[in-house]
Amino acid sequence: MSPPSRAETFPAHTPAVSQIFTTVLSQGPLTRLELSRRTGLSPAAVTKAVRPLIEAGYLVEDVAEDAPPALGRPATLVRVDGGRALFIGIKVTGDEIIGVLTDLRCRILVVRHLPLPGRTPQQVLAATTGLVGELLTEADGMDVTVMGLGVAVSGDVDRAEGAVRYSPFLEWRDVPLAELAAMATGLPVTVDNDVRALTVAEQWFGAGVGLSDFAVVTVGAGIGCGLVVHGRVVAGAHGVAGEIGHVTVDPAGPLCHCGNRGCVEAIAGDAALVREVRAATGTEVADAAEVLELAHRGVAAAREAYARAGDAIGRGIATVANLLGPERVIISGEGLAAYDLFAEQIRAAFHAAAFGSAAECDLRTRPLPFDEWARGAAATAIQSFIGSEPVRARSTP
């Protein structure tokens, strides 16, 4: 039972309050004066924005422990009370759904997997509802309310409407998933594309904190990319963006399922690795994990496949860097388990193909447990909860 004096909603969604909270959330404990510097608000405005957040229990004060003996009044730190609210994130894949229970700081508390009986909206919705129920039961013991549910799905997703426009993988068209899930669970629901959700998580809680222009590249079964430009995740006018997987790197390369030749994904995706090793060795290879094992055992065909994959990924990243000039590119995804096998190739290809000072972009890798996809979904729920949705009038800015 939470203290009755605390309202269960977030304080007013005024710009300053949202901005202050978001800054504390992503940039760790900060003093008010430091907040003032980072946000450009006056110290007075910071005080006024912090107060309701502390009263509502979302922020707490904290004395700096390892404070070096400094002159003047010691600063009090302000940090987010992660335990103040809980969120659930769900990632839908082809054969299972993964759910996480996180706190307000998007730290994973519980992970649950559930196999999918099928891929129809009804089946996925039923499984989601079940998994959410399990996680809610877990949350019951924690005396804190679950404030939102985020769902991440691959494909063309309209986040504002909470609808899946088209998901080739699930074979869905125009499914109002947010509405359905909200009805079934009673929670506020956000639905977003999986790569974009992961990008939000990186932007707020990961390697993208404090950056206004960066990219996340995921390597795995497919090759995906989330872009942050001018501090906002790029959604694309037609729901498609960040399709680095279908950037052509070699028009004479292997055929891709999209119909073209030499897409990054057709060279560096899991299926491509398996196919290449199969063709080169003549032996049956089951999956990417086996290719990885062969490569680590020193099998030349497998190592070469990884080298080609690294080259394609590096070129793809260079294309992103040449077009957008991001400060950083975060390379992640399940395929990163094999990072030692393509690291060198990625960097070499990137530096060869990056134009001018685009090469100064910081390439950084982050291991990505599969759960992180679900965490990304939770991050979108947190974003929505604290009301920092990007909304703008329809005029020329």
Partner DNA sequence: TTTCTTTCATTGACAGCGGAAAATAACGCA
Partner DNA sequence: TGCGTTATTTTCCGCTGTCAATGAAAGAAA
Contact positions vs DNA (CB under 7 A):
12, 14-17, 31-34, 40-51, 69-76
Q: Which does 191 bind (CB under 5 to 8 A by kind): DNA, its own copies, none?
A: none
Among 12, 13, 323, 367, binds its own copies (CB under 8 A): 323
Nearest distance from residue 30's CB to DNA, in Å?
9
Among 141, 238, 286, 297, binds its own copies (CB under 8 A): 238
Neighbours of 128 (CB within 10 A): 25
Q: Which does 45 bind (CB under 5 to 8 A by kind): its own copies, DNA, none?
A: DNA
Q: What does R_g of the chain's alpha carbons equal in angstroms?
A: 22
- Going by C-alpha positions, the residue among 21, 32, 43 that lies closest to residue 385 is 21
Structure tokens at 247: 């950037």
CA distances from 166 to 32, 100, 239 (A): 45, 25, 9
CB closer to DNA, 56 vs 182: 56
* Dist CA 93 CA 152 (whole Å): 9
Q: Which does 73 bind (CB under 5 to 8 A by kind): DNA, its own copies, none?
A: DNA
Q: Which does 244 bind (CB under 5 to 8 A by kind): its own copies, DNA, none?
A: its own copies
154 touching its own copies, by CB under 8 A: no
Nearest distance from residue 40's CB to its own copies, in Å?
3
* Dist CA 215 CA 202 (whole Å): 10
Q: Is 384 exposed, middle or buried (0-12, 13-18, 19+ CB in 10 A)?
A: buried
Reported as half-sphere exposure (CB side, CA atoms, 13 A), residue 170 has a value of: 32
CA distances from 227 to 154, 216, 243 (A): 15, 6, 10
Nearest distance from residue 377's CB to its own copies, in Å?
19
CB closer to its own copies, 128 vs 167: 167
396 touching its own copies, by CB under 8 A: yes
Listed in sequence order, the DSSP H helices in the chain are 15-27, 32-39, 43-55, 121-140, 177-185, 194-205, 264-268, 270-281, 288-296, 300-324, 339-353, 371-385
- Going by C-alpha positions, the residue among 297, 296, 301 that lies closest to residue 341 is 296
> Which residues are paired to 193 by β-bridges?
153
Binding segment (CB under 8 A) for its own copies, from list 123-131, 174-182, 292-300, 316-324: 316-324
Nearest distance from residue 11's CB to DNA, in Å?
9
242 touching its own copies, by CB under 8 A: yes
Interface characters, 335-354, with its own copies (x: CB under 8 A)? -----------------xx-
CB closer to its own copies, 78 vs 241: 241
Contact 214, 208 (CB under 8 A): yes
Q: Is 230 exposed, middle or buried (0-12, 13-18, 19+ CB in 10 A)?
A: exposed
Binding segment (CB under 8 A) for its own copies, from list 34-42, 66-74, 102-110, 295-303: 34-42
246 touching its own copies, by CB under 8 A: yes
Question: Which 8-state DSSP code applies to residue 38?
Answer: H
Q: Which does 337 bind (CB under 5 to 8 A by kind): DNA, its own copies, none?
A: none
Nearest distance from residue 60's CB to DNA, in Å?
13
CB closer to its own copies, 73 vs 238: 238
104 touching its own copies, by CB under 8 A: no
Structure tokens at 46: 């910071």
Residues 6+ apart with CB under 8 A from 250: 261, 262, 267, 312
Residues 6+ apart with CB under 8 A from 395: none
Q: Which residues bind its own copies (CB under 8 A)?
A: 19, 22-23, 26-27, 38-41, 156, 166, 203-204, 209-210, 212-213, 225, 227, 229-232, 234-244, 246-252, 258-260, 315, 318-320, 322-327, 352-353, 355-358, 360-361, 388, 390, 392-397
